Amino acid sequence: MSDAERPTDGGVSGDDDFEPIQVFPEAEEMDLRPGADDCYKCSTCDTNCPVAEVDDEFPGPKFQGPEQWRLKRQEDQDVDDSVMKCSNCMRCDSACPSDVPLSQMHNTARGEYVEEQMDKFSREYVRNRILANYRRLAPLGSMFPRTTNFVMGLSATQWLGEKVLGITSERELPEFATETFREWWTKRGGAQVTNPDKRIAYFHGCYANYNTPEVAKALVRVYEHLGYEIMVPDQHCSGTPMFANGMLEDARRSAETNVRELAAALEDGADIVASCSSCSMSLRQEYPELFDFDGTDDVAENTWDAVEYLRVHEDLEAELEGTSVGDEFDDFAYHAPCHARNQGLDGQTLEVLAPIDGVEAHDVGDSCSGISGTYGWKAENYETSMKIGEEMVDHMEDADAETGLTECPTCSMQMEHGTGYEITHTLEVLEAALVGTAESTATGANAQ
Amino acid sequence: MARDTAVLVLGGGSTGCGIARDLAMRGLDVTLVERGNLTDGTTGRMHGLLHSGGRYAVSDQASATECIEENEILREIAGHCVEETGGLFVQRPEDSDDYFREKLEGCRECGIPARVLSGSEAREVEPYLADDVKRAIEVPDGAVDPFRLCVANAIDAETHGARVETHAEVIDLLRDGDDIYGVEVRHDSGPGKRTHATPGTTEEITADYVVNATGAWAGQIGAMADLEIEVRPSKGVMTIMNVRQVDTVINRCRPKGDADIVVPHETTAILGTTDEEVSDPDDYPEAGWEVDQMIDTLSELVPILSEARTIRSFWGVRPLYEPPGTGTQDPTDITRDFFLLDHADRDGVSGMSSIVGGKFTTYRAMAEEISDHVCEQLGVNASCATAEEPLPGSENIERLEAGMDDFGLRSPVARRSKQRLGSRACDVLETDEPNPVICQCEGVTRAEIQDAVSQSGSDLNAVRIRTRASMGNCQGGFCCGNMASELHPTHDEETVREALDELFQERWKGERHALWGEQLSQAMLNYALHAATMNRDRDPASAGEDVDFAAFDGGRPEGDRVDGPRGAR
């Protein structure tokens, strides 16, 4: 604040009648220097950083986080541009033995970098804005899904995407579903189970709505099978791609809607579940670290991963004992997404699938897939992304399985891109075991 | 009789270095001797406040006026040592309104720009201030790096022909009847730059005039020539926080008391202080409760301090003096003014003056007055230029700050390096050699370390005060070894080891007073790194004996190895 902006007070007045309304600080203005107090520089974060492992130019989370913050003075604006190389996998958070708020530091610094230093007319900014705001474009795509899929699949389009926007042409853009989850949900008349005692609000996120509604439908069928009333509140993007691109203002707007809607659902007696591990991560950790809306903490404390919720609130093991799945699934090569790992959920899928007959999941280890949301879509990160993912791909190919399994949409893109396998979500397997396959249920519904 | 030098200055603190620069710029032949490295005494043990004068605006308006004048001069001539943080005198609900008014009026009477902020305006400037602070007076306090400022004075003195000898302890004053004509010093490793593991020598240095600028140690020097100088050393504790909780100097607005100031200093914040008379400036108790009490009291102003990490604490000794017969009981009431004692007038012993009392912010004005006196004694007619001539590093500082060159460094490292080096940044940082960061906590690169080594020989503490390397949150745990490696191959292994041990010991000295919470974890990690990884707790090379390699057996035959033959895995 410059002197000119400060109201001057020449005399000595003892009273404080001029009290400006206290607004909480914008996320990119937060002072996280005190967080550096927790760092004793052991470098465990650096040894767990998948980007630092393959990119010698990347200084690693210890520098990005506590060291850079500690060197900061109030008036300093410049954040080192290497923060844009961080993929926001958040592994450093779980690696740190001393609770340094590393990803919060990265998110805030990245937001500040984009806000203060990035040219708003640069190709990089425009591209990142588009990638971060996938949800705003997706409705257009899914209005004419077949046309969009056709056009996006054209090599000319991909060439243009790379040349004009810096979106790698190595990857195939995800296809839009012909019917979004929300369209399906409305068409079927919403919830088919009412139960004031067992109620969940489903945060489906963008990808399960526009691209893989089969995952969202699987969640609905599993939860309804177990007697839950499902609410599907209005929702925006969880913010994950916006944090990763430093678009904190966009994230703030989305988060404001999400917190308002989800807090209202909590009022209605629901708990919140998400099928995407990055969405649940965002609601649980990043919201309270970056925002301060009414109800942010409540929403964070009552948000669950969809499978985790069932393991805690149901006897899922007993439900699954003796179930079997048929030929629709082969054995799986399972990759635990970093954002699931950070929530302590990395062993969950293997344990849940164990009692189901007819299918086996092989853990492909604790490496990062390397795509980290929008990160691996950027032409300049493509190579790094593939190098990080190499270990996962090798292990998938070594595993005794021909299909892949994971809970994260972008990890599944990378798994598919690296191996050519078809990738399934854990909820789809649970659906098959508990309810029967999507097709047979759909057929049954049609027969009625 | 021909003397070695015209003026011999004793003491390499701010006063001594200021005098040496002033006289050298006036064309006099000057030699300065210092017992340790520069700033080793009180200068290196201050809280880094560049006074606006606000602290003295009620109790001592003469000092206050002098402070604001010197404050403005230092911003001009020593821009790379000064951070213009601004300062606040913060009033809590229980603090007196009358005193607040006196403070504000006092500032205005002394020409100190002062403005009242409401509680919420003050919190907007410093968000970590307590919720219930009532209001504040904003003044142009600043932060100053005493190390950099003192070294810059010494470098400039040398540039003007002075000889500066560190690690040269005065062991005797040379007195012939009623005339003092020099000193005998003991060089730690011979004259010139210090080299560890080199035997010392003694030297007699004669001079036309001797200036005793040893501050709290002035009495000990005087005693060597049977002169009585009644310095009343008073200790004060300071605690260094790991990060800056505030970016503005925070003073408590109440009559002088303990624990009433927080100064943002480089990457840290320094809490100060206490005031207690001691008999020996080299030997006084350092008690844990002094630190605890200070953190508790200052937490009333900045509550986050109670939870925050401290990285070290240190005690400084003020060189207080009062003329014989004043008889002030409480050291806080002893004047902060300085006194020039001409021993010819006072004791009938010619050839030497002592300078006692005073404070860091006004070091330049003190040096000017003493230099005038010395010139008068020596019959030299030359005027002072230290108020106009910028110190090395502060020439054309605005141009440097406007420059965008990052020297290939990451931006926060480049920013901090340029702030430390000032206008010397290009000379030091422009290099074709690889320039890795040696000290990650403070962002110090090899080029800057090498520049400091070129000034100070194998003395790594001298490198430390020039660069801040090893002054961050690991307190040298990670970088001491790498700093020492920079001495090789110019210096041999034994020298490097001794230099490393000395630096690491010095770091430990202050860390002892911060061993709880995260800093305790840090100390344990440092211990593991140095004792285990680097094998420094029982390194055979440190034992001074030759290792009997023949005593080692050849290991098990390959076939017996539990992990199979080599290369089998």
Query: Which are the contacts of B99, defined by CB distance < 8 A and separation ≥ 6?
Result: B58, B253, B254, B255
Chain A residue with Cα closest to B102: A12
Q: Are residues B222 and B252 in the same domain?
A: no
Q: What is the C-alpha separation between B506 and B502, in angstroms, rounded?
A: 6
Q: Give yes or no for residue B567 having a pLDDT over 70.
A: no
Q: By C-alpha distance, which of B527, B363, A403, B457 is closest to B466?
A: B457
The pTM score is 0.89
Q: What is the pLDDT of residues A68-100, one digit of tens each?
A: 999 998 777 788 999 999 999 999 999 999 999
Q: Per-residue confidence at A101, pLDDT binned at 50, 70, 90?
A: very high
Q: In terms of domains, do A266 and A346 share one? A: no
Residues of B in contact with A8 (CB under 8 A): 115
**Does residue B295 belong to any structural domain of this protein?**
yes
Asked which of A165, A191, A222 is the last residue of a domain, the reply is A165
pLDDT beyond 80 at A29: no
Number of domains in chain A: 4
DSSP state of B558: G
Residues B191 and B119 in one domain: no
What pLDDT band is residue A7 in, cutting at 50, 70 and 90?
A: very low
User: pLDDT digits over B236-275, tens only?
Assistant: 999 999 999 999 999 999 997 899 999 999 999 999 999 9
What's the order of all strands across the beta sheet hosting A271-274?
Answer: A229-231, A199-203, A271-274, A303-305
pLDDT in tens, B162-216: 999 999 999 999 999 999 999 999 999 988 888 888 889 999 999 999 999 999 9
Instruction: Check the CA dihedral A22-A25-A29-A32 and report its sign.
Output: positive
**A336 and A398 co-located in one domain:** yes
The shortest CB-CB distance from A20 to any of B120, B441, B472 is to B120
Please say whether the beta carbons of A63 and B236 come within 8 A.
no
CB atoms near residue A14 (< 10 Å): 12
- Interface contact B115-A63, CB threshold 8 A: no
Residue B348, CA distances (Å) to B321, B343, B374, B403 in order? 20, 6, 17, 57
Whether A356 is in a domain gets the answer yes
Find the CATH number of the domain harbouring A94.
1.10.1060.10
Specify the number of domains making up chain B. 3
CA distance readout (Å), B138 to B100, B248, B359: 12, 10, 22
Tell me, yes or no, whether A33 and A137 share the same domain. Answer: no
Residue A176 DSSP one-character state:
P
Kindly tell me if the per-residue pLDDT of B158 is higher than 50. Answer: yes
Min CA distance, A81 vs chain B (Å)? 8
Distance CA A175, CA A149 (A): 6
| Domain presence at residue A20 | no
Q: Would you say residue A2 lies in a domain?
A: no
- Residues B139-147, mean pLDDT to the nearest whole number: 97
Residues of A in contact with B249 (CB under 8 A): none
Domain that holds residue A144: 123-165
Q: What is the CATH number for B299?
A: 3.30.9.10
pLDDT of residue A17: 47
B373 and B407 together in one domain? no
- Please judge whether B116 and A9 are an interchain contact, meaning their C-beta atoms are less than 8 angstroms apart: yes
Chain A residue at shortest CA distance from B436: A59
Residue B565 in any domain: the answer is no
Query: Are both B247 and B284 inside the same structural domain?
Result: yes
In a domain? residue A304: yes
Which residues of B, range 125-144, sit inside 8 Å of A by Cβ? 125, 127-128, 134-135
Same domain, A325 and A313: no
Interface of B with A in 459-478 (CB under 8 A): 472-474, 477-478
- Could you tell me whether strands B352-357 and B201-212 are parallel, antiparallel, or unpaired per DSSP bridges? parallel
Window B:372-431, CB contacts with A under 8 Å: 410-413, 415-416
- End position of a domain, from candidates A165, A198, A224: A165
Q: Examine the domain organization and report whether B270 and B288 are in the same domain.
A: yes
Answer yes or no: do A100 and A228 share one domain. Answer: no
In a domain, A86, yes or no: yes
- The answer to whether the Cβ–Cβ distance between B120 and A22 falls below 8 Å is yes
pLDDT at position A136: 77
**A41/B125 CB distance under 8 A:** no
Q: In this complex, do B411 and A63 lie within 8 Å of one another by their Cβ atoms?
A: no
A361 φ/ψ angles, rounded to the nearest 5 degrees: -115, 135
Closest-CA residue of A relative to B116 is A9
**How far is B169 from A172, CA to CA, in rounded Å?**
76
The chain B residue lying nearest A78, using CA atoms, is B411
B344 touches chain A (CB under 8 A): no
Residues A307 and A251 in one domain: yes
A377-429 pLDDT, tens digit per residue, is 999 999 999 999 999 999 999 999 999 999 999 999 999 999 999 999 999 99
Between A8, A14, A62, which is nearest B97 by CB?
A: A14
pLDDT tens for B384-395 read: 999 999 999 998
Helix, strand, or coil (residue B114): coil
Q: Which chain B residue is nearest to residue A20, measuring alpha carbons? A: B120
A67 and A190 in a single domain? The answer is: no
Same domain, A298 and A378: no
Task: Kindly give, in sequence order, each residue whose CB lies less than 8 Å from that of residue A416, ignoring residues fewer than 6 positions away.
Answer: A404, A422, A423
* Residue recorded with tokens 């502060």: B394
Encoded amino acid at B284, one letter: Y
Residue at A14 is within a domain: no
B458 and B495 in a common domain = yes
B47 located within any domain: no
In angstroms, the CA B444 to CA A391 distance is: 36
Same domain, B476 and B535: yes
Residues B435, B514: one domain?
A: yes
Q: What six digits make up the tokens of A65?
A: 């986080």
- Residue B568 pLDDT > 50, yes or no? no
Please write down the long-range contacts of A312-316, taking CB distance under 8 Å and 24 or more positions apart.
Answer: A313/A198, A314/A226, A316/A352
pLDDT band at B566 (very low <50, low <70, confident <90, very high): low
**Both tokens assigned to A92:** 């450093």
Range of the domain at B110: 82-141+234-315
Instruction: Give residue B312's pLDDT.
Output: 96
At B401, is the pLDDT very low, low, confident or very high (cuts 50, 70, 90)?
Answer: low
Is residue A442 domain-resident?
A: no
Flag whether B76 is in a domain: no
Chain B residues touching residue A81 (CB < 8 angstroms): 411
Residues A74 and A127 occupy one common structural domain: no
**Min Cα–Cα distance to chain B from A26, Å:** 13
Is B549 contained in some domain? no
Cβ contact B410–A14 (<8 Å): no
Candidates B43, B4, B409, B22; CA nearest to B208 is B4
- Regarding whether A401 and A324 lie in a shared domain, the answer is yes
pLDDT of residue A387: 96
* DSSP annotation string for B506-529: HHHHHHGGG-SHHHHHHHHHHHII
* Count of beta carbons in the 10 Å neighbourhood of residue A331: 16
In chain A, which residues have their Cβ closer than 8 Å to the Cβ of B518?
37-40, 98
Average pLDDT estimate for B214-238: 94
Residues A326 and A410 in one domain: yes
Mutate to test the interface with A, among B242, B246, B480 (most CBs of A within 10 A): B242
CA distance B418 to B80: 9
Question: Which CATH number covers residue B348?
Answer: 3.50.50.60
With 0-12 CB in 10 A as exposed, 13-18 as middle and 19+ as buried, what is A126? middle
In angstroms, rounded to a whole number, what is the distance separating the alpha carbons of residues B82 and B147?
A: 11
Contact A81 B411 (CB under 8 A): yes
B343 and B256 share a domain?
A: no
* CATH code, A336: 3.40.50
Q: Is the Cβ pair B518, A40 closer than 8 Å? A: yes
**Among A258, A285, A317, where does a domain finish?**
A317
Minimal-distance CA residue of chain A relative to B120: A19
Residue B203 within any structural domain of the chain = yes
Q: What is the overall mean pLDDT for chain B?
A: 92
B103 and B160, same structural domain? no
Q: Nearest CB to A37: which of B97, B440, B518? A: B518
Residues B297 and B356 in one domain: no
Report angle CA A128, A134, A137 to the nearest 5 degrees.
115
Regarding whether A221 and A98 lie in a shared domain, the answer is no
User: In angstroms, rounded to a whole number, what is the distance separating the alpha carbons of residues A403 and A422?
Assistant: 5
Q: Is residue A414 part of a domain?
A: yes
Q: Do A67 and B245 touch (CB under 8 A)?
A: no
Interface size, chain A vs chain B, as Cβ–Cβ contacts under 8 Å: 116
Q: Are residues B125 and B173 in the same domain?
A: no
A→B interface, C-beta within 8 Å = 1, 6-14, 16, 18-20, 22, 25, 31, 33-34, 36-42, 59, 62-63, 67-76, 78-82, 98
The enclosing H or E element of B356 equals strand B352-357
Q: How far apart are CA A137 and CA A130, in angstroms?
A: 8
Q: Does residue B192 lie within any of the structural domains?
A: yes
| B412 contacts on A by Cβ (under 8 Å) | 67-68, 71-72, 76, 78-80
Cβ-contact A176, A211 below 8 angstroms: yes
Peptide bond into A50 cis (omega under 30): no
Q: What would the two tokens of residue B290 be? A: 């002094």
